[in-house]
Amino acid sequence: MNGFPPIDLFGSHYSKNWLNDSVKEFMSQDAEFQLHVELSNLDILVATPEYMLAMKCLSSRAESETELDDIKSLTQHLGLKNYLEVENIMLKYYPITRFQAKTQYIIQEVLDELYP
């Protein structure tokens, strides 16, 4: 590749403290990324839409229109039409014990708005 070690979020290349604590809370051991841009000396990876949706749902706040809009966009992009489809994606990355009650209500609110 480019001679530099890859960033390994869960390995030993970087100190445990290099990533902001509030972001660490939503990182998953099963995180999935895809290549966004490949340059001669740099590969830029982004979270897959499924992983981004799972993170957004887990961290969502009902009072944030931006977050709700992000969940709506990702839900539509992935063609999801009911709560169980969204929950199954979340379960790929997080154990159900991480889900808060508010998460289900927020997801259902988004789906009800998209598919009345």
Structural domain includes residue 43: no
Q: Is 8 inside a domain boundary? A: no
Percent of the chain with pLDDT over 70: 76
Q: Is the pLDDT reported for residue 106 higher than 60?
A: yes
Q: How many domains does the chain have?
A: 1
Confidence of residue 28 (pLDDT cuts 50, 70, 90): low
Q: What angle do CA 110, 91, 59 make, to 5 degrees?
A: 50
Q: Is the pLDDT of residue 19 over 50?
A: no
What whole-number distance in Å separates Cα of residue 29 and Cα of residue 113? 32
- Asked whether residue 69 is domain-assigned, the answer is yes
Residue 15 lies in a domain: no
Q: Is the pTM of this model over 0.75?
A: no
> Is 101 part of a structural domain of the chain?
yes
Is the residue at 103 inside a domain?
Answer: yes
**Structural domain for 60, as ranges:** 49-114
Task: Give residue 36's pLDDT.
Answer: 86
| pLDDT of 25 over the 60 cut | no
